[in-house]
Amino acid sequence: MKRRDTLLIGLMLFSMFFGAGNLIFPPFLGAESGTSYPLAMAGFILTGVGLPFAVLYAVSHVKGGVQSIGNRVHPLFSTIFMVVIYLSIGPFLAIPRNANVAFEMGVAPFLGITANSSLFLFLFTALFFSLAYVISLNPSKMEKYMGRWITPVLLLSMVVLCVVGFVKLDAPLQSPSKQYETGAFSKGFLEGYNTMDALAALAFGIVILTSIQQRGVRDRKQLTNYTLKAGLIAGTLLSLVYISLGLIGGKMAATGSFEDGTDILSAASTLLLGQSGKTLLGFIFTLACFTTIVGLTTACGQYFSKLIPKASYKMVVLAVTLVGFTLSNLGLAQILKVSVPFLVMAYPLTIVLIALTFFNRFFKNSKKVYGSAILFTGIFALIDGLNAFGLNLGPLQTMSDMLPFSAVGLEWIIPALIGTGIGMILSGLSKNAPVAEEVDVKVS
């Protein structure tokens, strides 16, 4: 495969990852963390870039991809886990979130006070999803639309905004807010969940592998190699964007207080470029959210059309588009209310599952190890998620709060390690030999 092809696939992957959350959260992290920004951003990049990269590597390296990785716990777990992930990063959460943010930043600022926002939201999302549907119907042409055209325009727009910001904003970083005074790294680590990119990487792995295979690459090592190169391109660009947006947020903190990242970027673009800045920012948000929706719709279409043989790719894409369009019109506040608790539950399971994959050679694909680790992790991830929904589970919540790292939202780490240890003991006592797999992830 040519270098140019790798570059275009890497740009396509960047545009698929780079959506609403990737724009919203870095500037707010910069404003809130202040002088603790380097540590906070390091944690954010670890989960916002490093973890998705690890997921792509694991998915490309294991024959059968993420489905085979989940099968190491149990085939039923694998199917349920992936269906929930795809529905969440697809029509039930990420897709409507991106569409809403595109409207809030690309259209709403230009409407009059008396405008019927619900009607304009309906009209905007109708056009938005129609275009996404048309492009998603031809996944083989995604590289052409996104890698060659949309992504370069998006990156150029980001460069203009960030360069002007660095030149005109000269205020020093402020003192960190209370939540970043201590544990800035762990706070940034948790904020990285909000990008949803590690979960999206579980789905995007299929899209990237398909694009590489369409160029005649079949060897597993070569597939992994090209996936890593594309991932490095996307990851480098994401890191640069996060750092730049975070710095703009940190410098904007000196001009006042802000409710969220969209508020910061709106104020910054208007301060730096006037009305043109507001237009530029709306353009950036609309492009970023559009490319992510196309990527997620395509990934859902490819997965569910294989999972359900009677459902064609076009049928699934249409269903995802219609559901995403319907839920988008419920409003951004309702969507965001559900996203945080879900991410709190889903991310620990994803992290543990991928971590076990990298150390698989030490316990030779033992289902006892995978099952025990996921069980222990899942219990405390569920408790934390329900608590984020506002439910207090009494003694269970008290027990969870007593665990190490609970103060920074990482109480699942010790249970995950305990579950892994118990699984290894049970595996060692078992007389049944583990089932070997064709390909195993090895860490040099």
Is 321 within 8 Å of 297 (Cβ atoms)?
A: yes
Over residues 250-275, the mean pLDDT reads 88
Residues 117, 13 share a domain: yes
Out of 152-161, 370-379, 406-415, give the one with best mean pLDDT: 370-379
Residue 110 resides in a domain: yes
Last residue of a domain, one of 284, 317, 332: 332
Residue 149 resides in a domain: yes
Residues 404, 276 share a domain: no
List the one residue out of 417, 5, 48 whose CA is nearest residue 225. 5
Residues 285, 392 share a domain: no
- Give the model's pLDDT for residue 411: 87
Summarised one tens digit per residue, pLDDT across range 284-323 is 888 888 988 998 999 899 889 988 989 999 999 999 999 9
Residues 246, 390 share a domain: no
Residues 23, 89 share a domain: yes
Q: Is the pLDDT of residue 180 over 70?
A: yes
Query: Distance between CA 247 and CA 249 in Å, rounded?
Result: 5
Residues 107, 28 share a domain: yes
Q: Is the pLDDT of residue 439 over 70?
A: no
Residue 344 resides in a domain: no
- Give the model's pLDDT for residue 125: 94
Structural domains of the chain, count: 2
In three-state secondary structure terms, 155 is helix
Last residue of a domain, one of 316, 332, 348: 332
Q: Is the pLDDT of residue 444 over 70?
A: no
Over residues 90-114, the mean pLDDT reads 84
Average pLDDT, the chain: 86
DSSP, residue by residue, 249-282: HHHHGGG---SSHHHHHHHHHHHHHTHHHHHHHH
Which of 50-54, 132-136, 425-429 has the least mean pLDDT? 425-429
Q: Is the pLDDT of residue 278 over 90?
A: no
Residue 339 resides in a domain: no
Residue 342 resides in a domain: no
- Give the model's pLDDT for residue 238: 94
- The domain of 240 spans 3-332
Residues 310, 172 share a domain: yes
Residue 318 resides in a domain: yes
pLDDT level of residue 441 (50, 70, 90 thresholds): very low
Is 349 within 8 Å of 407 (Cβ atoms)?
A: no
Q: How far is CA 109 from CA 15, 58, 104, 274, 282, in A?
A: 24, 42, 7, 13, 8
Query: Distance between CA 201 and CA 286 in Å, rounded?
Result: 21
Summarised one tens digit per residue, pLDDT across range 125-177 is 999 999 999 989 887 666 666 667 777 888 888 889 889 988 888 888 999 99
Is 366 within 8 Å of 409 (Cβ atoms)?
A: no
List the one residue out of 162, 109, 161, 105 whose CA is nearest residue 290. 105
